Amino acid sequence: MGTITPINDIALTTEQPFTSKSGLNQGISTCSVHAGRTTNPYHSISDPLVSPATFTFDNTQDCRQFMEKKLWGDTANRTEYGRYGNPTIFAAEERLAALERAQEALLFSSGMQAISTTLFHLLKNGDHLIITDNMYRKTRQFCTGILERYGIACTIVPINDFTALEQAIQPNTRLIYSESPTNPHIRLLDIEKFAALAKNHQLLSIVDSTFATPFNLRPLDWGIDLVVHSATKYLGGHNDLLAGAVAGRKEIVAGIRDFQGVVGAISDAYIASLLIRGLKTLGIRLERQNQSAQQIAEFLSAHPKVENVWYPSLTTHPEYAIGKSQYKGFGGVVSFTVRGDCETAERVIDALQIPLLAVSLGGTESLVSQPAIISYFELSKSERLALGIQDNLIRYSVGIEDVEDLIADLDQALNQI
């Protein structure tokens, strides 16, 4: 049994300590600046962008030896063909692994690619999975709509309803999967109970930690098997790239890597180098976004034009206690309803001067969106309400601007309704 100290200093034991290849077990910001840095012939401080379609061998003997090493499971820092990776991608993966304290991480072209490839690899016809509600809509669509076409059944249970979760387990259940914090209501998974339930029933556990980032929570430290990310959000951090990642034990990630090499769900060197650059500031961005979002949530909850605010630092939040004991912070997304209807919320959004009207989250620029008229637009009002999406709901992703400016801007916009 290894002892691992998670980010919030609560000691836990897990059966298999996660140590990244680089062996770096340092703080988040040290890892995000240094982990996976390669030495290179140019002595350049930044990782070289190496982006060939294929790689050469000097002779057939080298080729044979390379292939043999691969068969023996050796992780040579090269491949024979670009669809299986390249040095820039490997450097990004190494950094991601160190940040999540995973044995191995794997980069994809988007968060949905990471999620769909991982689930396709782990599940087969006749299997069953359980996911929690309030997950990213496309993830739910993939698990219910697409996986079911391949004979894989899915049950959705309310987040943190461990009785419902246990009751949903069937003899063919393979894995349980949740998001934390969730999109858009910032619900927090009780990660300790989720991991324990998976272990008791010998199920694989997966957590989409996009909204948390390793700065606020490291699911693997709590005994979760795999963590997935939309790296498009906080990990990239600048609203300028699409990427996804999965991290966890080597034997699981290696299988997903092989599957990725077959289906070609790979990222590219340019995106990997942008991600490496974005990751360098993960700690300072998240520290600021955690603080600013908390201040904004407090401001909104005291504002007479605001009906409800969802942010876990507020005592009114359903997982306030879980947040305090398991999470270091809650990230930059604050959701709230205004007093009024769909048009009232539209007027507030249009009156805002600083955040840009766009979906996505987690970047340097504040973004604002109204789920009812974008992510859930084609659903009827009653279908939306069944999913908890109110017409007057606004999702605000706090960037790194000065929080005083963001609050003054919100105040003037709210005062126009």
Ligand X SMILES: Cc1ncc(COP(=O)(O)O)c(C=O)c1O
Which residues make up the interface to ligand X (CB under 6 A)? 110-112, 136, 139, 179, 183, 208, 210-211, 230, 232, 242, 244
Cβ-based nearer residue to ligand X, 12 or 242: 242
Identify the active-site residue in 37, 70, 78, 83: 83
Nearest residue to ligand X by CB is: 111
Which SS3 state, helix, strand or coil, does residue 48 take? coil
**Min CB(188)–ligand X separation in Å:** 13
Q: Which of 112, 118, 28, 69 is nearest to 328 (CA)?
A: 28
CA 248 to chain centre: 13
**In what helix (H) or strand (E) does residue 246 lie, and over which residues does it extend?**
strand 244-248
Nearest distance from C-beta of residue 126 to ligand X, angstroms = 26
Q: For residues 112 and 269, which CB has a smaller minimum distance to ligand X in the complex?
A: 112
Q: How far is the CB of 61 from ligand X (least distance, A)?
A: 42
CB of 138 to ligand X, least distance (A): 6
Identify whether 324 is a catalytic site residue.
no
The one-letter code for the residue type at 389 is: I
Q: Which is nearer to ligand X, 208 or 225 (CB)?
A: 208
* Cα 99 to the center of its chain, rounded Å: 13
Please say if 83 is a catalytic residue: yes
Q: Considering 101, 140, 187, 233, which one is annotated as catalytic?
A: 233
Nearer to ligand X, 93 or 299 (CB): 93
Give the DSSP letter of residue 219.
Answer: G
Does residue 66 contact residue 57 with C-beta atoms inside 8 Å?
Answer: yes
Catalytic residue among 47, 127, 136, 395, which? Answer: 136
The three-state secondary structure class of 385 is helix
Three-class secondary structure of residue 340 per DSSP? coil
Q: Would you say 87 or 244 has its CB closer to ligand X?
A: 244
- Please pick, among 47, 208, 221, 391, the residue that the annotation labels catalytic: 208
Minimum CB–partner distance for residue 91 and ligand X (Å): 20
In 31-61, which positions are buried (b, 16+ CB within 10 angstroms) versus exposed (e)?
bbbebbeeeeeeeeeebeebeeeeeeeeeee
**Cα(289)–Cα(401) distance, integer angstroms:** 9
The set of catalytic residues is 83, 136, 208, 233
